[in-house]
Amino acid sequence: MLPDTNQSRTGRKLLKRYLYANFSLLDVFKIAFGNTQARVPFTVKASPSSVYYNFRIQPDKVEDFIRYINLPPEFEVCPMTCLQGEQADFLLTLNVYEVTGIAVGVRAEYSTYIKDADGARRYMVLEAQSSEYSMDPVDVITKKGRVEHDTSTQTVATLVASRDKKLFEASYPQPDSTTQAAIHPEWVSANDYIYWRNGICDRTFYDSGLAYPKAHCIDPESVSIVDDTHWSQFLESTPKHIVQFEEAIDFVIMPWVNI
């Protein structure tokens, strides 16, 4: 028979606090001297649902688009497969979501897809806007802007605007349970490293909310869109598909990991 265990937790509680406080303090100095990377929480909220508007770049505009975004020479813009069973296409994705953690507020991010040095397909964030002040490695300070996203009613409504005018508006009926989306693993793993236009990237780790998501695919013909952004000149007017995630996604991010 094994001996009885000590049921007292007071000493263990104090020991736990002391040990992990010291581990955290040690990390402060390691991060400050560049000997380790910071790891910060970043949670995409379940409500409002995170929505991806995936637009196909017009085939005859792909080269113009690549010249326009003017990426560093080490990056190659590439097609992406978002859903299982579909053909890869050159895409521009608008992802709208609300976040807590290292950043807060509603965010709108325009991204395309690139191959990294190992040939893996990754996100390349081309433009970001937030309803609250935040940081990114391109502008450093992302100014507070107008981004609205509501999935609490029978109609999903998204608005991205400048100070002067509305730039992007979209609305569509809430999806039903029969519209499940089969997410392609390549689209999921593209989130492992998220690049920005100046080549700096974030290393991300995520839970089953992204790895095995509960998501719906929206009929593009059911969506009303008004697009007055500078991106519209390159895009087909109807999205290839819209994907709506129903659960929160918990990330741990190592920001700006390659500098």
For residue 40, the surrounding DSSP H or E stretch is: strand 40-44
Read off the CATH number of the domain in which 130 is found.
Answer: 2.40.400
Residue at 79 is within a domain: yes
Residue at 62 is within a domain: yes
The pLDDT value recorded for residue 67 is: 97
Residue at 24 is within a domain: no
The pLDDT value recorded for residue 34 is: 84
Say whether pLDDT at 189 is over 90.
yes
Calpha distance 38→55 (Å, rounded): 34
What is the percentage of the chain residues whose pLDDT exceeds 90?
71
What is the percentage of the chain residues whose pLDDT exceeds 70?
100
pTM for this entry: 0.91
Between 5 and 123, the more confident residue is 123
For residue 124, the surrounding DSSP H or E stretch is: strand 121-130
Residue at 6 is within a domain: no
Between 249 and 179, the more confident residue is 249
Say whether pLDDT at 202 is over 90.
yes
Neighbours of 93 (CB within 10 A): 24
Say whether pLDDT at 177 is over 80.
no
Q: What is the pLDDT of residues 95-108, one digit of tens each?
A: 999 999 888 899 99
Q: What is the mean pLDDT of the chain?
A: 92
Strands 193-196, 121-130: pairing kind: parallel
Say whether pLDDT at 147 is over 80.
yes
Say whether pLDDT at 155 is over 90.
yes
Burial class (CB in 10 A: 0-12, 13-18, 19+), 165: exposed
Q: What's the structural domain count of the chain?
A: 1
- Look-up: residue for tokens 């992302």? 142
The answer for residues whose C-beta is within 8 angstroms of residue 212's C-beta and 6 or more apart is none
Residue at 123 is within a domain: yes
Residue at 122 is within a domain: yes
Q: What is the pLDDT of residues 221-246, one digit of tens each?
A: 999 999 999 999 999 999 999 999 99
Residue at 30 is within a domain: no
Say whether pLDDT at 46 is over 90.
yes
In 3-state terms, what secondary structure has residue 171?
strand
Q: How confident is the model at residue 140 (pLDDT cuts 50, 70, 90)?
A: confident
Say whether pLDDT at 179 is over 80.
no
CA-to-CA separations, 169 to 56, 82, 86, 227, in angstroms, rounded: 18, 23, 26, 7
Calpha distance 231→241 (Å, rounded): 17
Say whether pLDDT at 1 is over 90.
no
Query: Are the C-beta atoms of residues 91 and 134 closer than 8 Å to each other?
Result: no
Calpha distance 2→41 (Å, rounded): 41
Residue at 8 is within a domain: no
What does the block give as tokens for 222? 């059911």
Calpha distance 128→200 (Å, rounded): 14
Q: Which domain holds residue 89?
A: 36-254
Name the β-bridge partners of 129.
108
CA-to-CA separations, 28 to 35, 50, 123, 137, 205, in angstroms, rounded: 10, 33, 29, 21, 21
Say whether pLDDT at 141 is over 90.
no
